[in-house]
């Protein structure tokens, strides 16, 4: 299969939707003439015109509200945020409006919209531009949240997200935009809410998503060198959360480490750990071990940022501390 980079996979999915469905349009800051903060929409303005590719003022609350109204009226907007950190300006619209309208209208109003945003630290954007609020949004009923870790999943999930009749937040790890992976030319979709077993194993389960898959897979490689077989699970979707796949793996390996590249406190892995404890405690040979980035504001300094960000050493330390492997 051919390899394409992560941003090109996202771009392919967006382009397909714009070509196939006249109800689809895009809004966001600098997505038109500039081509997007990470070049995902480069060339779209020339191809689809200003009616479909709308550069917006610097007001996330305003264009998020406009997108919700457009979706409620029957269109299928795709909203791009320059950074997930800027979603804070529009949280009332996202959380109170987009996620609740279908419920509050008794199903009379749907909000079929996609919100996309780069997420996470590691690219030296400092404290106010390096947040990972997908972990917050995953708690909101009515809002689906996905965070793909590779080009294949990015394309399959964006296709499904655009077709969904609910609001879907697609968190795209900024560190992965240039990463390559194999993507087939044949059309495919990935169901929202289904985890992926990235590597089969028998001795321990490692769980993560998004950028967190990099340190997890590196740790699995290092464990294999000392005879430890790690099963690696990529959640892909944070809401809905596929706990059945995680629990089945824990019942097989009897050990688990859950890994978040976002901050450890309050992350989605706290929920995963609690569910594993409730549903599979009798299968465990030790504690559910949690790993996450350090609970400090994200530093601008490259060396400090790397020290704070979750890495494979953190994962291996948790494996050793919890299970002596």
**Residue that is last in its domain, among 152, 182, 212:** 182
Tokens 């998503």 -> residue: 209
Q: Cβ(173)–Cβ(119) under 8 Å?
A: yes
Q: Which range of residues forms the domain containing residue 292?
A: 196-323
Whether 189 maps to a domain, the answer reads no
Whether 282 maps to a domain, the answer reads yes
**pLDDT score recorded for residue 60:** 95
Model confidence, pTM: 0.96
Structure tokens at 277: 């404890």
Whether 161 maps to a domain, the answer reads yes
Residue 1 has pLDDT above 90, yes or no: no
Task: Kindly state the helix (H) or strand (E) to which residue 53 belongs, with its residue range.
Answer: strand 53-55
**Residue that is last in its domain, among 182, 206, 235:** 182
Set 129, 134, 231, 305: catalytic member: 129
Question: Residue 266: left (phi > 0), alpha (psi -120 to 50), or beta?
Answer: left
pLDDT tens digits along 266-316 = 999 999 999 999 999 999 999 999 999 999 999 999 999 999 999 999 999
Residues 113 and 219 in one domain: no
Residues 23 and 158 in one domain: yes
Residues 19 and 146 in one domain: yes
> How would you classify the pairing of strands 204-208 and 256-263?
parallel
Residues 97 and 221 in one domain: no
Q: Cβ(217)–Cβ(199) under 8 Å?
A: yes
CA 131 to chain centre: 12
Q: Cβ(195)–Cβ(235) under 8 Å?
A: yes
Q: In terms of Cα–Cα distance, which of 144, 148, 131 is closest to 266?
A: 131
Whether 41 maps to a domain, the answer reads yes
Taking residue 100's Cβ as centre, other Cβ atoms within 10 Å add up to 16
Residue 64 has pLDDT above 90, yes or no: yes
Number of domain units in the chain: 2
Q: Could you tell me which residues come within 8 angstroms of residue 207 by beta carbon, excluding any fewer than 6 positions away? A: 216, 232, 233, 235, 246, 249, 256, 257, 258, 259, 269, 272
Whether 188 maps to a domain, the answer reads no
**pLDDT score recorded for residue 203:** 97
Q: Cβ(213)–Cβ(197) under 8 Å?
A: no
pLDDT tens digits along 92-140 = 999 999 999 999 999 999 999 999 999 999 999 999 999 999 999 999 9
Residues 91 and 231 in one domain: no
pLDDT tens digits along 158-183 = 999 999 999 999 999 999 999 999 99
| 3 is an active site residue | no
Residues 40 and 151 in one domain: yes
Whether 190 maps to a domain, the answer reads no
Residues 66 and 206 in one domain: no
CA 249 to chain centre: 22
Whether 85 maps to a domain, the answer reads yes
Residue 322 has pLDDT above 90, yes or no: yes
| Among 96-100, 188-192, 197-201, 265-269, the least confident range | 265-269
Residues 89 and 202 in one domain: no
**Residue that is last in its domain, among 133, 151, 182:** 182
Q: In terms of Cα–Cα distance, which of 41, 308, 40 is closest to 178?
A: 40
Whether 269 maps to a domain, the answer reads yes
**For position 60, which CATH number holds?**
3.40.50.970
**For position 224, which CATH number holds?**
3.40.50.920
| 129 is an active site residue | yes
Question: Residue 218: left (phi > 0), alpha (psi -120 to 50), or beta?
Answer: alpha
Residues 173 and 207 in one domain: no
Residues 178 and 57 in one domain: yes
Residue 20 has pLDDT above 90, yes or no: yes
For residues 226-245, average pLDDT: 98
Structure tokens at 207: 């769980």
Set 8, 29, 60, 172: catalytic member: 60
Q: In terms of Cα–Cα distance, which of 127, 136, 129 is closest to 81?
A: 129
Residues 302 and 155 in one domain: no
**pLDDT score recorded for residue 27:** 97
Residues 265 and 131 in one domain: no
* Predicted confidence band of residue 325 (pLDDT cuts 50, 70, 90): confident
Mean pLDDT rounded to a whole number for the chain: 96
């Amino acid at each position: 299969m051919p390899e394409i980079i992560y941003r090109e996979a996202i771009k392919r999915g967006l382009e397909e939707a714009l070509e196939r469905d006249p109800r689809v349009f895009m809004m966001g800051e600098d997505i038109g003439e500039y081509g997007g903060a990470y070049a995902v929409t480069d060339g779209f303005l020339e191809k689809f015109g200003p009616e479909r590719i709308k550069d917006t003022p610097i007001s996330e609350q305003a264009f998020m509200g406009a997108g919700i109204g457009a979706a409620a009226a029957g269109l299928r907007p795709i909203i791009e945020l320059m950074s997930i950190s800027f979603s804070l300006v529009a949280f009332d619209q996202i959380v109170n409006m987009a996620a609740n309208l279908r419920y509050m209208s008794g199903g009379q109003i749907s909000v079929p919209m996609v919100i996309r945003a780069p997420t996470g630290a590691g690219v030296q954007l400092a404290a106010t531009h390096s947040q990972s609020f997908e972990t917050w949004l995953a708690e909101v009923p009515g809002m689906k949240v996905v965070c793909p870790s590779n080009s294949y999943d990015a394309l399959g999930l964006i296709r499904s997200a655009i077709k969904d009749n609910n609001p879907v937040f697609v968190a795209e790890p900024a560190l992965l935009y240039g990463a390559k992976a194999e993507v087939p030319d044949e059309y495919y979709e990935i169901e929202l809410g289904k985890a992926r077993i990235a590597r089969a194993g028998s001795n321990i389960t490692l769980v993560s998503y998004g950028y967190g898959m990099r340190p997890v897979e590196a740790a699995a490689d290092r464990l294999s060198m000392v005879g430890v077989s790690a099963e690696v699970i990529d959640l892909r979707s944070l809401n809905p959360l596929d706990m059945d796949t995680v629990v089945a793996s824990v019942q097989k390996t009897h050990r688990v480490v859950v890994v978040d590249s976002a901050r450890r406190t309050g992350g989605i892995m706290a929920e995963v750990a609690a569910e594993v404890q409730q549903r599979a405690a009798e299968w465990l040979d030790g504690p559910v071990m949690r790993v996450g980035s350090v609970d400090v504001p994200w530093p601008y300094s490259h060396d400090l940022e790397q020290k704070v960000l979750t890495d494979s050493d953190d994962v291996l330390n948790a494996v050793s501390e919890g299970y002596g492997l």
